[in-house]
Amino acid sequence: MADKILITGASGAMGRLLIKHFLGREPVIGLDRRPFMGRPMELEFHQVDLRKKKAENLFRRESIKAVYHLQIDHNLHGKETEHHQRNVRGTMKLLEYCERYKVPKLIFLSSCNVYGPNPMNPNFLSEDAPLGGAAGNPAMQSQIEAEMYVMTHLWKQPEMEVVILRPVHIVGPTVHNPVVRYLRMGRVPTLMGFDPMLQLIHEDDVVHALALAARPGIRGIYNVVGPGQVPLSVILKELGAGHIPIPHPIAMSLTRRLWEMGAFPFNAPELNFLRFVCNIDGARAARDLGFAPRYSLPETIRSIRGLRAA
C-alpha cells in the first residue's frame, strides 16, 4: 500500500488547489465536512467530520505519510461555540490521530492574522511575535487556540515533523476569503486618512509553499510572504476600484450594526487591518524552505479580479 497524503478542508479553495497540485503525482485522500462539488474522478474523498470515528478509521486503515490541515473555519458568521468546537476540537482530534498512528508529517495552514493589526507592531513581524490576533477580535480566538495546540505538538513530538505556515493575505481567482471579497466590492469602503501597507500572496504561491513544507527535515513555524507590500490605495487603483473613505468612528459603529444584521462579511475589529500594519517577515521561509513567490506584485494584485480578467 502506497503512502498517502491526507488533506483536510479538501472542498475549500486552498484544498482544491493543493489537490490539483498533487493529483497524478502523489496518492491523495481528501477530507471535508462539506461535500466536494465537482470532485475529480481520481480523487479519494471522504465527507466526514474530523471529530467522528469515521475519520479515525481512515488513519487506522491507511498508511499516511503527511497530513495537510487546511480545515480551519474562517467563516466567522454563525454560532461561536459551534465554530470553536469545529476548529479546536477538530484540530485536537487530528493531532491525536497523527500521534497515535505515527504520521511523520503534519502541515498546518495558519495565517498572518494570528498576529493581528496593532499600532505597536513592528513593521515586519517575525515568527516569534506574540499572537495578538484575538485581542479585540474574539472571532480569531478559536483559530489561535487551534494553532496553540499544533504548536505544543511541534515542541513535544520530536518524531513528528510539524510545520505551521503563516501566509499573508491569500488572493487569487479562486479563493473566496474575506480579503478577496472586500477587495472585489467594486466601490470599496476605506477608513479616511488611513492607508496601511498590505501584503498579499497569490494562491498558487501558497500551494507552492505548502508543497515545499512537505520536504523531509522541514519543521517549525514559517511566515510566508508574497512579492512585497503596497498601500491599500495602490491595490484599489490597480484593480480599477473606487473607494469610499469613511471616518473611522462612523465606520466602526456602522460595521458592527451591519455585521449583527448579517449583511456584511466583516466585524468591526477587523477594520483594524485597514488602519494598522500587520506585516510579516518571510526571511525564514526563504532560507529554510527555499520559498520565493512566482507571481509579481502587479500579477498578484490583478489576480483578485478573478478568472474573467485573467
Partner 1 sequence: MGKPITSFISRSVQRRLDPEALKRLKNIRHNFNEYGYDPWGMHPDYLLRFALAIKPLYDKYFRVETYGLKNLPEGRVLLIANHSGQVPIDGVMIALALLFEADPPRFARAMVEYFAWQLPFVSTAFARLGQVIGTPENCRRLLDADETILVFPEGVNGISQPFNKRYQLQKFGTGFMRLALDTKTPIVPVAVIGCEEMVPGIGRLPVPKGLGIPYVPLTPTFPWLGPLGLIPLPAKVRLYFGEPMEFKGEPNDEDVIVERKVKRVRMRLQSMLNDGVKRREHVFW
Smallest distance, Å, CB 111 to partner 1? 20
Tell me whether residue 183 or residue 211 sits nearer to partner 1 (CB atom): 183
Tell me whether residue 197 or residue 214 sits nearer to partner 1 (CB atom): 197
Tell me whether residue 46 or residue 275 sits nearer to partner 1 (CB atom): 275
Smallest distance, Å, CB 219 to partner 1? 25
Count CB atoms within 10 A of the CB of residue 62: 17
CA distance 14 to 32: 12
CA distance 54 to 57: 5
Tell me whether residue 216 or residue 231 sits nearer to partner 1 (CB atom): 231
Tell me whether residue 35 or residue 119 sits nearer to partner 1 (CB atom): 119
Smallest distance, Å, CB 191 to partner 1? 7
Question: Site residues (CB under 8 A) for partner 1?
Answer: 119-124, 126, 191-197, 228-231, 234, 247-248, 275-277, 296-298
CA dihedral 15, 21, 24, 29 (to 10 degrees): -20
Smallest distance, Å, CB 240 to partner 1? 15
**Is 25 within 8 Å of 36 (Cβ atoms)?**
no
Smallest distance, Å, CB 197 to partner 1? 5
Smallest distance, Å, CB 269 to partner 1? 15
Tell me whether residue 148 or residue 292 sits nearer to partner 1 (CB atom): 292
Query: In three state form, how does the secondary structure of the chain look?
Result: CCCEEEEECCCCHHHHHHHHHHCCCCCEEEEECCCCCCCCCCCEEEECCCCCHHHHHHHHHCCEEEEEECCCCCCCCCCHHHHHHHHHHHHHHHHHHHHHCCCCEEEEECCHHHCCCCCCCCCCECCCCCCCCCCCCHHHHHHHHHHHHHHHHHHHCCCCEEEEEEECEEECCCCCCHHHHHHCCCEEEEECCCCCEEEEEEHHHHHHHHHHHCCCCCCEEEEECCCCEEEHHHHHHHHCCEEEEECHHHHHHHHHHHHHHCCCCCCHHHHHHHCCCCCECCHHHHHHHCCCCCCCHHHHHHHHHCHHHC
Tell me whether residue 206 or residue 251 sits nearer to partner 1 (CB atom): 251
Tell me whether residue 35 or residue 249 sits nearer to partner 1 (CB atom): 249
Task: Tell me the sheet residues that pair with 8.
Answer: 31, 69
